[in-house]
């Protein structure tokens, strides 16, 4: 369920279990219709080590010291794990990278929306994609200028990776829910104080999810994530009921009782 916190948790797993270990083999699974490097290209990593990682928004990078970077995007359903080589692999593993010492990094992606690419330069890649600042790094002014000035729905602004990188449907809904803003509210009409508190809430949410390793059951009970279905009782106000509405083409779960519109 990959947005920024899931990507960051995955990056940390690479950092903890796959860094500075010699790569002994790279294996592709069933990858029809997927955008991945060829087996020959990936074979270039054998004998080398990943020595550093980076993340920008939902984009993960693992690099060898002087060689190319492996860029991984988890798509809609991808995940990364480090497991022992003798462990039975789960279904839908698209790429596995084996390391000296008996561990391997697995890229699992049932829906095949993820992709992997070899790149030379992370900054150039981010520029080329036109990604905005990382949602955890963006400053108050930049957030206000990029998100708070949008003429469309605030929900759509949060989802735009060009305005800020890393927020997806799930955590956009959570941030608006906890800040008390209706997903359809026009961003540029929101008071500056509301934009500032949205920024703070969003940062807190992303940080808290990362702290759990993106294990949702460890998140506080009054978060929307635990009541994300139509008709559920709102945990933040008396008598509120969760409803869903398409905003910018995405299902937007919210509580109309405490999430205010501004038009």
Partner DNA sequence: TTTACTGTTAGGAC
Partner DNA sequence: TGTCCTAACAGTAA
Q: Which residues are known catalytic residues?
A: 2-3, 58, 250
> Which position among 55, 56, 94, 112 is part of the footprint of DNA (CB under 7 A)?
112
Nearer to DNA, 169 or 179 (CB): 169
**Interface segment toward DNA; rule CB under 7 A; list 94-102, 104-112, 175-183, 232-240:** 104-112
> Which position among 92, 118, 213, 236 is part of the footprint of DNA (CB under 7 A)?
92
Per residue, what are the HEC states of 199-238?
HHHHHHHHHHHHHCCCCHHHCCCCCHHHHCCCCCECCCCC
Instruction: Give the residues across from 95 on adjacent strands.
Output: 28, 107
Binding to DNA by residue 248, rule CB under 7 A?
Answer: yes
Establish how many alpha carbons lie within 13 A of residue 45's alpha carbon, considering only the half-sphere containing its beta carbon.
Answer: 30
DSSP E strand stretches across the chain:
23-28, 52-56, 59-63, 69-73, 79-84, 93-99, 103-108, 115-119, 243-247, 250-254
> Which position among 102, 251, 260, 261 is part of the footprint of DNA (CB under 7 A)?
251
> Which position among 17, 110, 200, 213 is part of the footprint of DNA (CB under 7 A)?
110
Q: CB 94 → DNA: shortest distance, Å?
A: 10
Q: CB 198 → DNA: shortest distance, Å?
A: 16
Interface positions, 14-73, toward DNA (CB under 7 A)? 32-33, 57-59, 73
**Interface segment toward DNA; rule CB under 7 A; list 19-27, 39-47, 82-90, 151-159:** 151-159
> What are the CA-CA distances from residue 136 to residues 52, 76, 186, 218 (Å)?
20, 21, 23, 21
The interaxial angle of helices 4-17 and 192-211, nearest 10 deg, is 30
Contacts with DNA, residue ranges (CB under 7 A): 1-3, 6, 32-33, 57-59, 73, 75-77, 92, 110-113, 129, 150-153, 156-157, 159-161, 168-170, 244, 246, 248-251
């Amino acid at each position: 369920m990959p947005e920024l916190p899931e990507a960051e948790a995955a990056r940390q797993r690479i950092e903890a279990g796959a860094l500075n270990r010699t790569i002994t083999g790279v294996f592709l699974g069933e990858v029809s219709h997927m955008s991945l490097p060829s087996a020959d290209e990936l074979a270039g990593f054998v004998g080398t080590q990943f020595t550093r990682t980076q993340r920008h928004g939902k984009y993960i990078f693992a690099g060898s010291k002087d060689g190319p970077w492996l860029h991984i995007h988890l798509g809609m359903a991808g995940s990364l794990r480090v497991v022992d080589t003798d462990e039975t692999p789960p279904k839908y593993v698209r790429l596995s990278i084996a390391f000296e010492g008996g561990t391997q990094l697995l890229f699992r992606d049932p829906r095949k929306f993820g992709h992997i690419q070899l790149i030379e330069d992370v900054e150039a890649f981010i520029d080329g994609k036109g990604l905005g600042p990382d949602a955890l790094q963006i400053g108050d002014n930049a957030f206000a200028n990029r998100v708070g000035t949008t003429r469309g729905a605030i929900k759509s602004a949060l989802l735009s990776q060009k305005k800020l990188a890393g927020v997806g449907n799930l955590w956009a809904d959570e941030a608006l829910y906890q800040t008390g803003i209706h997903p359809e509210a026009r961003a540029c009409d929101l008071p500056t104080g509301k934009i500032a508190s949205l920024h703070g809430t969003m940062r807190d949410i992303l940080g808290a999810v990362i702290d759990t390793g993106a294990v949702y059951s460890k998140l506080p009970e009054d978060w929307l994530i635990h009541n994300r279905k139509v008709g559920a009782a709102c945990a933040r106000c008396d008598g509120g009921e969760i409803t869903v509405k398409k905003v910018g083409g995405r299902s937007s779960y919210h509580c109309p009782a405490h999430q205010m519109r501004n038009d």
